[in-house]
Amino acid sequence: MNIVSIIILSIVGLGCAIAIYFTNKYLPSEAEHLKKAEEISQILPNMNCGACGKAGCFAYAQSLAQDPNVIVETPCMAMMKNEEAIKELENKLGMKLAGSDMNKVSIIRCNGKSDVVFDYHGINTCKAAAQLAGGYKKCPFGCLGLGDCMVKCPENAISIDEEKNIAVVDHSKCIGCDLCTKECPNNLIEVVSGKLAQYLGCSYTSKKNIVNRDRCKQGCIHCHICEKTDPDALDWDSKKDLPRFVEKNKESPNSVKKCPKKIIVPLALDMSKYPDEPKEKNEKKTEEKQTK
């Protein structure tokens, strides 16, 4: 009895093994470009963010295997920060890529803690909150801080700043996949080149009047100081009543420093290159006073 059961189990197992072997052998092998697509998709991030416009990383790899020029027209943003993967992909496709020059990041054009007009206890998403009388914050253009963009982010680069009650992007993690821009009901998020020197962190427009709404204390106060300090880099957008950068990649450290509300935020601009001289003097003076 025992022997028979062992024999039957082995025979059935052997039969299964043989069946798998023959299906493997006699099925048409995968087409050439599918094999290549498989190899390429192993290099790709495989997070299926959809930023390239394809249905997923494997679909992107398939189109790359057929025509390598696709990567120039619609580059995979998610791997531009990964130097090794880019090199590997260059070898595989046999072409040179611009690499980190194509790097993009998303920015949120809101910088502050706006006052709350009414308490909101509805569905916990920005989209639902924005439906109700233009949002619960005093500034109708502000970030609602309920994290629609945070949920969408494939890299967990967006988090909610508890103190400011707005979403903030960690630019070292952001891959510029453009998924968050569609989520924001106030259209505050924008994907920009990683080389952009600085950006304006406020979207308030005084031209659009809504009853009982006003700018927040952290927003642009339309003082024109930035325009006056750095007329080369900035001019005034009278339509939106906000400053505007003429040349996108031109560094303007003075306007970053001078802005009384600190809403001109440096991005690629390295502020440590431009030490804050007057402030240091002030500190020294206070120190001197204290010693006296």
The contact set with other proteins (CB under 8 A) reads 4-5, 8-9, 12-13, 16-17, 19-20, 23-24, 27-30, 34, 58-59, 123-125
CB of 36 to other proteins, least distance (A): 13
Q: Specify the residue, 9 or 271, whose C-beta has the smaller distance to other proteins.
A: 9
CB of 168 to other proteins, least distance (A): 23
- Write out the H or E segment, with its range, that includes residue 281: helix 277-291
Q: Specify the residue, 35 or 279, whose C-beta has the smaller distance to other proteins.
A: 35
Q: Specify the residue, 3 or 211, whose C-beta has the smaller distance to other proteins.
A: 3
Across the strands, what pairs with 43? none
**Residue 189: C-alpha distances to residues 35, 185, 228, 285 (Å):** 38, 10, 27, 41
Q: Specify the residue, 53 or 231, whose C-beta has the smaller distance to other proteins.
A: 53
CA-based Rg of the chain, rounded to a whole angstrom? 27
The dihedral through the CA atoms of 94, 97, 100, 104 has a sign that is negative
CB of 34 to other proteins, least distance (A): 7
Cβ atoms of residues 76 and 60 within 8 Å: yes
CB of 31 to other proteins, least distance (A): 9
Q: Specify the residue, 121 or 289, whose C-beta has the smaller distance to other proteins.
A: 121
Q: Which residue has the tokens 């601009």?
A: 269
Closest CA to 175 of 40, 238, 85: 85
- Write out the H or E segment, with its range, that includes residue 33: helix 32-43
CB of 23 to other proteins, least distance (A): 5
Across the strands, what pairs with 36? none
